[in-house]
Amino acid sequence: MTTDSNTAGSTPVSDAAGLTDEQWRAKLTPEEYRVLRQAGTEAPFVGEYTDTKTTGVYRCRACDAELFRSDQKFESHCGWPSFFSPLAGEAIIEKVDRSMGMKRTEVLCANCHSHLGHVFEGEGYDTPTDLRYCINSISMRLEEA
């Protein structure tokens, strides 16, 4: 599902999990809160899962929903973990993001509406889809198989 918004970046995303902003701040570290709830971005090439090849399922760090599988992960050399497909179409929400002076597609957890990253298409990667889900490591945790 794709929705349209002009408010990515510093505005907290809406909450489908029913938690207040205060509850999210108590549950998450300050950096997790900045990325997951305020649509921030972690620095490139520093994330925990950028180069991970471990087999398992990537879950939303905010609500534990399943998002991606390790067999959908690929090396894009962009500085963030990249996937060619989410676990299931219902696992994420895609939202038009017009922040930063450009039009991008933001990726949110469908369960709690936390910011995960962005998806890009048409970049020519040799994957089954022509998509690159560029996801912040801090937005996920890996459950090893």
Query: Residue 87 forms beta bridges with which residues?
Result: none
Quick check: is 109 catalytic?
A: no
CATH numbers and ranges of domains, the chain: 2-144 (2.170.150.20)
The helix (run of H) or strand (run of E) holding residue 27 is: helix 21-27
Distances (CA, A) of 11 to 3, 7, 17, 143: 16, 6, 17, 30
Instruction: Tell me the residue type at 15.
Output: D
Average pLDDT by stretches of 10, the chain with 145 residues: 41 62 95 96 96 96 95 95 85 87 90 95 92 96 96
Q: What is the pLDDT of residue 50?
A: 95
Distances (CA, A) of 77 to 16, 26, 142: 33, 34, 20
Instruction: Tell me the residue type at 38.
Output: Q
Of 60, 109, 112, 134, the catalytic one is: 134
